[in-house]
Amino acid sequence: MAKQKFATLEELLDPNNFNFETVAVIDDKGNVVNPDLMPDLSDEELVEFMEKMVFYREWNERMRAFSRQGRLGFVAPTAGQEASQLGTVAATTADDVLFPGYRDIPQLMEHGLPRDKAFLWSKGHVDGSTYPEDFHAYVPQIIIGAQYIQAAGAALGIKKSGREAIAMTWTGDGGSSQGDVYEGVNFAGAYQAPAVFVIQNNGWAISTPRDLQTAAPTLAQKAVAAGVPGIQVDGMDILAVYAVTKAAREYAIAGNGPVLIETLCYRYDPHSLSGDDPKRYQPEGAQDHWRALDPLERYRIFLNEKGLWSEEKEEAVVEQAKEEAREAIKKAESALTQKVSDFLRNMYETPDYITQEQIEEYEAKENK
């Protein structure tokens, strides 16, 4: 059988490339299908990818458990999107500035966010949104797509400062229907600002299927109108996601402008744990196809073939995730309880006189 021909990264990063084939390195059976795109990684680095995916799959389970116990607030599950999330952030450096959406907590944690702050953010505690000045990331954006505007502005600031860095941001397929997303991509393209925009296409924007959001065959091709490269990648293949994102970052910091990446992936859990039930709107058996493409399973096969993985290693990572989650939730729950006066004080840098009166009124009651 003739070998399938894949486009090179140089071809994919051409703004005039209109062939939006799905980039892959390994298939669902763990077989290498595009050796030319295989990232140059050591065995230790290959294993580290698996460790991270296993860790965050279990971390997702810990968050579900804490949510059921009433110990967390808003939780957006991540199971199924590990390759997309971790493959993109793995291509960044500590100097890059991250603009996550509310499902992108793993990327923040990989960038250096303390575990307990991830839980404090979920609980709505102000300390969960308080970052050190040298931590180059913003808090998860709740407004759908707004992070794209912020990333575009930050990317332009990076360019003007002469730093060798990028701004990276994520949204979902639902977010790609927001005007802010196109405006951010267009602005960064017009000014050749170093940004990498990621659309994690998991097929559903809560209950709205992707085919009701747009008539475009791919979301990657939405980059065409902004004059920037758009690449669609198998978001269940961490090696492909990493290879494409790494190339996109290099393209951006070389002064060529931004890149839009669409990762085809799937979330196995509800949109959030706040009452969403996919069984009410997804057809029966909808997950079967995607369960067979599980990013952990295909990568597990890939590593097993190389003799680099074992059940013992996986069990150790799972236990590590459980222990770190226990420690983090305990620390988060020891944070000082917020007061009404604190909420009011945090509303404005300089409170107006009415708010100041309310602060003083509540402080008087709280200090009794």
Give catalytic residue positions.
267, 271, 281
Burial of 131 (0-12, 13-18, 19+ CB in 10 A): middle
Are 181 and 145 contacting, i.e. CB atoms less than 8 angstroms apart?
yes
Cα distance between residue 129 and residue 179, in whole Å:
26
Tracing tokens 């009651």 back to the chain, one arrives at 365
Cα distance between residue 280 and residue 152, in whole Å:
37
282 Cβ contact list (under 8 Å, min separation 6): 204
Cα 242 → chain centroid: 13
Burial of 285 (0-12, 13-18, 19+ CB in 10 A): exposed
Tracing tokens 């300390």 back to the chain, one arrives at 127
